[in-house]
Amino acid sequence: MSVEQLPRTIWWEDGSVHMIDQTRLPLQGDVLVCSTYEGVIVAIKTLAVRGAPAIGAAGALGVALWTHTTAAEFDQLDGDYLAAAQVVCDEIAYARPTAVNLPREANRLRAIIEEQVACGELTPVQLSELLVTEAHKVMEEDEAANRKLGAYGAELFDSPTKFLTHCNAGSLATSFYGTALGVIYATHEQGKVEHVWIDETRPVNQGSRLTAWELLFAGVPAQLICDNMAAFVMGEGLVDAVVVGADRVCANGDAANKIGTYGLAILAKEHGIPFYIAAPSTTFDLSLATGREIEIEVRDSEEIEGVTVSGTFDASSPAVSAAFDKMTADGPADLPMSKGHHMQIVRKGGGFAFDAWFKTTPTHVSCFNPAFDVTPAKYITGYITERGVLQADDIAEVMQ
């Protein structure tokens, strides 16, 4: 068991974007195939692909996919082509607002489109090949950065270290290897990880579904806790360091990450525990002076009003099978349910799969669901990057 055996998060295959569907992990290892750029946008918005560097890769592949699928519609790279491409790049770049990696990588490919339209030497097919290659470079650079920052991070810790992490800043959140979990994997490879506390990370449970799955897979000793147990384990002396990822780090070092990170940083300070942000240079945004300028994504209240359950089932008898067959003959079937719950059934292989949502709150309760918060730089012990372990004061110079 090793991190190296984890599946790739997202890849290009047969003219489509393939990804592990993270909404279904850990119960199912479905691969989602997007054959249109709109499909990639849906995957980003619904968190089938998530985590700052991974949505950056999805953004790059999404732009490349549009150029691939539309190459036959355009005779040449002209003003019409550019106008259409700009609309697509904007749609992709701003599909989610908080992680800077998404606009960064979509705009990296946009810049190539602009350049090639201006010089007019390539055909639309040749441009699409160039962009697929560039999207691969985005992913290769991300993996290399994560491995490097992991190695820098491992130097910080002596044996045996007890970590706490929040959300999933693992291989699944990146092209491969991970940021916060990259540090933990590299430290584990050196035999220096005693324990990892995994915050469950309500409401979407990236910790309990994804980080727990990754660490089990990689053979790292870990235990799951609810988010509200972090203070207890810190108070008991069971945490030596907190390491989390980031979605955007500003020029002054303020860092946006999954909701709940800010509270953890305050808890760590109170308990005298170092609090590290692990992030590649692509997550730093020097155009924003402070975290006040970061747009925080507010997601649908359904995420906190209930729980989502996905699974598969085999029909128990030919009669049941025939009934489900009939129900799903025209595609996914919505099953009527009481009390606001809902369930959809689809055919899957020889059996059936379901996605269900069960309401756990009173019908008309009002919810507020910010997906990220900003941890002020004063709570951050250091930034573990592929350019070294930085202090807030180093960021402006090192991340230029």
CA angle, residues 213, 224, 154, in degrees to nearest 5: 75
Catalytic residue among 21, 199, 227, 247: 247
| Residue 184 · residue 165 · CB < 8 Å | yes
| Residue at shortest CB range from ligand MRU | 245
Please give the size of the binding site for ligand MRU, defined by CB under 6 A: 18
Exactly one of 150, 258, 375, 386 binds ligand MRU (CB under 6 A); that residue is 258
Q: Residue 306, interface with ligand MRU (CB under 6 A)?
A: no
Exactly one of 10, 20, 77, 167 binds ligand MRU (CB under 6 A); that residue is 167
Query: Restricting to residues 201-230, which ones interact with ligand MRU according to CB under 6 A?
Result: 206
> In degrees to the nearest 10, what's the CA dihedral of 45, 346, 26, 168?
0
Residues in contact with 340: Cβ distance below 8 Å, sequence separation at least 6, in sequence order? 306, 359, 363
Task: Rank residues 50 and 108 by Cβ distance to ligand MRU and give the closer one.
Answer: 50
Q: Residue 291, interface with ligand MRU (CB under 6 A)?
A: no
Q: Tell me how far the alpha carbon of residue 77 is from its chain's centroid.
A: 33
Nearest distance in Å: CB 372, ligand MRU: 6
Nearest distance in Å: CB 353, ligand MRU: 22
Q: Residue 169, interface with ligand MRU (CB under 6 A)?
A: yes
Burial class of 308 by CB neighbour count within 10 A (0 to 12, 13 to 18, 19+): middle
Q: Residue 97, interface with ligand MRU (CB under 6 A)?
A: no
Alpha helices in the chain (DSSP H): 37-45, 52-70, 79-93, 101-119, 124-154, 180-189, 206, 212-218, 230-235, 261-270, 302-305, 318-327, 395-398
**247 catalytic, yes or no?**
yes
Query: Restricting to residues 266-285, which ones interact with ligand MRU according to CB under 6 A?
Result: none
Burial class of 22 by CB neighbour count within 10 A (0 to 12, 13 to 18, 19+): buried
Q: Residue 174, interface with ligand MRU (CB under 6 A)?
A: yes
| Residue 185 · residue 143 · CB < 8 Å | no
Query: Restricting to residues 176-195, which ones interact with ligand MRU according to CB under 6 A?
Result: 179
Binding mask 43-62 for ligand MRU (x = CB under 6 A): ----x--xxxx---------
Q: Residue 384, interface with ligand MRU (CB under 6 A)?
A: no
Q: Give contact residues for ligand MRU (rule: CB under 6 A).
A: 47, 50-53, 99, 167, 169, 173-174, 179, 206, 245-247, 257-258, 371
